[in-house]
Each structure stands twice: as structure tokens, then as C-alpha cells.
Amino acid sequence: MRKLITPAVSSLLAALAMSASAVPAQVPAKTSTAQANVHVMPAIDMGTLQRERVYRVYLPAGYEGSGKRYPVLYMHDGQNLFDDATSYVGEWGVDEALNQLSKTCGLDMIVVGVDHGDKLRMTELNPYDNERFGKGEGDAYVDFLVNRLKPHIDREFRTLPDREHTAIMGSSMGGLISNHAINRHPQVFGIAGIFSPSYWIAPQIFAATESNPALKSTRIYLATGAKEGEAMTEGFNQMSQLLEQHAGTGQWQAQLEADGEHNEASWNRIFPEAVSWLFSAPCNKPL
């Protein structure tokens, strides 16, 4: 006998279906891809931001027995740097790249990756107030890096603490805040990797960079993908022209990647070349 489905029952079934779809299926946990020399550290207080943040430390192979001191690269969005299990849409592969560069070029460094603040990311990594996203916390964020995190890292690890061996790098909003960091603390950061910077949200960054008193002695690698959109390439072109006019000769590179997109896969691809050039490694070409 044919069963009739009344409108009320139909509505109930639809509601149940929607409820079921709203509950995510049990997805197996991703396997960690972080290399053995990456360490997840306890959360550290962020000072005036009145919050704590986990950070991750990459130590070069042989660190424990070397007795050497190493340059330090500070990076943002730590969840996306080393481990596919914690990344949003894939990792940068910083640990794999540096392990390989250590073998082929003798390029060794410490990397400190600060986890992003999820919903706070758009304000933490923006040095300027924005009508859409809110009050910028970028000054407080880079002050935290300089006044709290860096002194802690210099105490706990064998670092080369001077500006010539202290770098900062990030992508998107992380690229923007890296640019801001060399402007706000030019005595601390002498090296910057600026990938796909979100200049569209903070056009004030151009004047601030031009007036940076240490710009001529700061090593800068600027990169953006040609497939990232007009706003991104316009910002890249404007900063490239500024660097050509005001940065030190031989101190900067600007690469518009023909196939580059706004994602971790593109940043993974350009990272080895960028970090090799920034730290003057003997083989500063892509692996």
C-alpha cells in the first residue's frame, strides 16, 4: 500500500535532514607532517593585547650538538607553516625546505612561527584602523614580537640577535605586518620576506615604508602572484617602484610570479628561493 507523506511530515523530514547535514561527519584526524625538529611551545603572554598565543620553533638539524649560534626568522600564521594537520588549506613546508637547504647549501636558521588568532587575525595583523574590520592591533602585535617573544627566544636558544641576522616573513596579512615590522622596529628587523601583501587594506604602508630610516640597509624580498587579482598586483607594483627609488642597491628583490596564486602552494614554491636570497646562501635558487 502506498504511504502518503503529508506536508507536516515532509517539513519534519526536511528539518531532520538539515540537522543531520549541520553535524559534521566523523573525519579522521590528519596525520602530522611536521618534522622532528619542529617544537610546539606553550602559549606566551602577548602583553598589551591581553591574550596568549602558542608558537612553534624550528631548530636546524644538529642544533643540540653544534654549540653554534643561528639567525632567526620570525613568521606569522604558525599553524600553516610546518604541519598539514594544523593548516587551513595546506602547509608552507618550511621545515622540509630548510632541512633540504641545510644539506645542499649549509643554510641553517631558527624559525619561530606565531600562531594566528583566528577571528582576531584581521585586526592583529593590521597596523591601521579599518572601517570594515575594526581597530588595528598591528603596533601591539609587532611590539609583542620585539619586547616579549624575541627576548624570550634569545634567552632560550642560541641566536644571533642583531638586526643583520633577524628576519620577519609572512603572506597576505602576514606580508603586510612584516612590512610594518621593519618600519616600526628598523633597529630589530634587518631582513623581510613579504609575500602577497594585503596592501589594499592599508595604503598608509607606502608612505611609512618610504620614510623608514633604515630602508637602504634592509634586505627585502617582495613577491606576489600574477593570478591574485588587480588589487594585489597594483599594490605590488606600487611597492616595487618605491623600493626601486628608495631601497638600497642590491638589497631588494621584487618578483611577480606568473603562475602565483593567493595560497600556501604558491608560498611553498617560492619560499626556498626567497629565504636563500635573504640570507645570502651559496645556492639561492629554487630546489
Question: Which parts of the chain sit beneath pLDDT 50?
Answer: 1-23, 286-287
CATH code: domain of residue 117 = 3.40.50.1820
How does pLDDT run across 118-167, given as a tens digit for each residue?
999 999 999 999 999 999 999 999 999 999 999 999 999 999 999 999 99
22 occurs within a structural domain? no
147 occurs within a structural domain? yes
Please identify which residue in the block is written with the cell numbers 547535514.
21
270 φ/ψ angles, rounded to the nearest 5 degrees: -90, -15
Q: So what's the pLDDT on residue 27?
A: 54
Whole-number Cα distances in Å, 157 to 88, 108, 162, 281? 29, 14, 14, 22
Structural domains of the chain, count? 1
188 occurs within a structural domain? yes
Cβ atoms of 170 and 193 within 8 Å: the answer is yes
Cβ atoms of 218 and 247 within 8 Å: the answer is yes
How does pLDDT run across 253-274, given as a tens digit for each residue?
999 999 999 999 999 999 999 9
195 occurs within a structural domain? yes
119 is in which domain, residue-wise?
A: 32-278
Whole-number Cα distances in Å, 95 to 78, 83, 112, 252? 12, 9, 11, 24
57 occurs within a structural domain? yes
Q: So what's the pLDDT on residue 28?
A: 60
256 occurs within a structural domain? yes
